């Protein structure tokens, strides 16, 4: 356990070191830049905002984590997020309920949207054995264009300069207290549910087993194709939920590029977290710290915030490579120790 934490921390530090070298080459002061980065996102008044911004990252991250750990290579989070956001927006445009009913209703719609989209890929695999790895990627592009069409034509806000929908009903806005958005509560609930399913339920046990050795679990009596469908639908719903919350907590309408880079960041988070649920939460928050802080960094030190995008990818590559490298390194040490014991 300690070793795992060490590997992650060392990997992140190495990536930061590399980032510092890049900054030095370009004549920036890395220490000040990093200080501003963390100051902007972790200062007492800011941390609630950073936490709120981590919601889509953690949710898409969990979607990818659960999928990767259970076998399906669901890379469709970007599309599922958009479809979830679209469905929640449509619900919010045409239906108005008291907030206590409205918010859960829209969240359900968002999850339904995401699950529908991942369901398409799941059924293509189930019926025709088409690899979800490519189909989800293609469905991402299709969802991208489809939602863009939806906000351009059927749900277009008249008189707007940009393609966007009108505001959703006020009752569907996630309540906000200062910088703290209540979408964080939904995220924590989703995290608890997913953690429980994966770690404490029979289904989760079967998923993890199938993820590690599909043949073994099939021979052990696990219904592989049913689990596959359930995992795809669940992970799609998680990504859809992220999309719904982005709309309900943020601009309260579907605007162009609303999905941003959340979903791909989520995939990276799942990879760097080695598909662990708790680590996904940690890294999701950490990535949010980087992204929120990057705004402050750009404001004060003139280092473009795009640098953070590079830094994230470098963190993923170094931490994952380091994990494998350290594991063989420690295994070698162990073997050498045993050898010595035997000789002595």
Residues 6+ apart with CB under 8 A from 235: 63, 64, 66, 67, 72, 74, 77, 80, 118
Kindly tell me which residue out of 51, 69, 271, 281 binds other proteins, with binding defined by CB under 8 A: 271
Which parts of 311-340 interact with other proteins (CB under 8 A)? 312-314, 316-317, 320-321, 324-325
DSSP state for residue 180 in the 8-state scheme: E
Alpha carbon distances (Å) from 45 to 180, 191, 233, 285, 342: 10, 25, 38, 16, 59
Kindly tell me which residue out of 47, 137, 203, 282 binds other proteins, with binding defined by CB under 8 A: 137
The distance of Cα 96 from the centroid of its chain, to the nearest Å, equals 29
The distance of Cα 26 from the centroid of its chain, to the nearest Å, equals 31
Q: Does 24 bind other proteins (CB under 8 A)?
A: no
* Gap between the Cα atoms of 252 and 185, Å rounded: 18
DSSP state for residue 172 in the 8-state scheme: G
Kindly tell me which residue out of 264, 283, 286, 287 binds other proteins, with binding defined by CB under 8 A: 264
* Gap between the Cα atoms of 143 and 86, Å rounded: 10
In the block, tokens 């919350």 appear at 245
Structure tokens at 333: 């040490």
> Closest distance between other proteins and the C-beta of residue 268, in Å?
6
Over the window 183 to 222, marking each residue x when it contacts other proteins by CB under 8 A and - when it does not, the resulting string is ----------------------------------------
Q: Which stretch binds other proteins (CB under 8 A): 109-117, 176-184, 217-225, 264-272?
A: 264-272
Neighbours of 135 (CB within 10 A): 19
Q: Which of 78, 51, 82 is nearest to 284 (CA)?
A: 51
Structure tokens at 163: 């393609």
Q: Check: CB of residue 239 under 8 Å from CB of residue 81.
A: yes
Helices and strands: H and E segment counts in the chain: 13, 2
Between residues 209 and 271, which has the closer beta carbon with respect to other proteins?
271
> Closest distance between other proteins and the C-beta of residue 249, in Å?
25
Between residues 170 and 332, which has the closer beta carbon with respect to other proteins?
332
Q: Does 134 bind other proteins (CB under 8 A)?
A: yes
* Gap between the Cα atoms of 239 and 67, Å rounded: 11
Q: Which stretch binds other proteins (CB under 8 A): 40-48, 170-178, 266-274, 276-284?
A: 266-274
* Gap between the Cα atoms of 273 and 319, Å rounded: 9
Which parts of 139-168 interact with other proteins (CB under 8 A)? 139, 141-142, 145-146, 148-149, 152-153
Q: Does 82 bind other proteins (CB under 8 A)?
A: no
Size of site (CB under 8 A) for other proteins: 39
Kindly tell me which residue out of 82, 267, 277, 290 binds other proteins, with binding defined by CB under 8 A: 267
Kindly tell me which residue out of 169, 222, 258, 268 binds other proteins, with binding defined by CB under 8 A: 268
> Closest distance between other proteins and the C-beta of residue 32, in Å?
18
> Closest distance between other proteins and the C-beta of residue 78, in Å?
11
> Closest distance between other proteins and the C-beta of residue 210, in Å?
18
Contact residues toward other proteins (CB under 8 A) are 26, 73, 75, 124, 128-131, 134-135, 137-139, 141-142, 145-146, 148-149, 152-153, 264, 267-268, 271, 304, 306-307, 309-310, 312-314, 316-317, 320-321, 324-325
């Amino acid at each position: 356990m300690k070793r795992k934490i060490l590997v992650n921390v060392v990997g992140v530090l190495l990536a930061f070191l590399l980032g510092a070298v890049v900054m030095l080459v370009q004549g920036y002061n890395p220490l000040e830049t990093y200080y501003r980065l963390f100051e902007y996102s972790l200062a007492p008044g800011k941390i609630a905002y950073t936490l709120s911004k981590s919601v889509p990252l953690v949710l898409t991250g969990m979607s990818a984590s659960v999928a990767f750990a259970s076998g399906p290579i669901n890379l469709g989070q970007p599309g599922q997020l958009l479809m979830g956001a679209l469905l929640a927006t449509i619900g919010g445009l045409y239906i108005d309920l008291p907030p206590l009913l409205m918010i859960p209703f829209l969240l359900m719609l968002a999850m339904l949207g995401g699950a529908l989209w991942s369901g398409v890929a799941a059924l293509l695999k189930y019926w025709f054995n088409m690899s979800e790895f490519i189909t989800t990627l293609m469905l991402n592009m299709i969802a991208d264009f489809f939602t863009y069409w939806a906000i351009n034509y059927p749900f277009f806000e008249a008189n707007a300069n940009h393609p966007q929908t009108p505001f959703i009903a006020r009752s569907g806005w996630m309540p906000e207290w200062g910088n703290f958005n209540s979408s964080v509560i939904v995220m924590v609930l989703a995290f608890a549910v997913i953690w429980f399913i994966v770690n404490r339920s029979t289904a989760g046990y079967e998923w993890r087993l199938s993820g590690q050795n599909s043949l073994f679990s099939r021979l052990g009596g696990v219904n592989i194709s049913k689990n596959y469908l359930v995992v795809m639908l669940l992970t799609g719903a998680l990504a859809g939920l992220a999309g719904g919350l982005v709309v309900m907590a943020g601009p309260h309408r579907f605007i162009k590029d609303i999905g941003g880079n959340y979903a791909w960041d989520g995939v990276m988070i799942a990879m760097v977290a080695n598909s662990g649920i708790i680590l996904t939460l940690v890294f999701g928050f950490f990535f949010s710290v980087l992204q929120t802080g990057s705004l402050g960094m750009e404001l004060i030190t003139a280092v473009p915030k795009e640098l953070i995008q590079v830094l994230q990818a470098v963190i993923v590559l170094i931490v994952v490579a380091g994990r494998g490298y350290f594991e063989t390194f420690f295994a070698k040490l162990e073997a050498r120790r045993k050898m010595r014991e035997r000789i002595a």
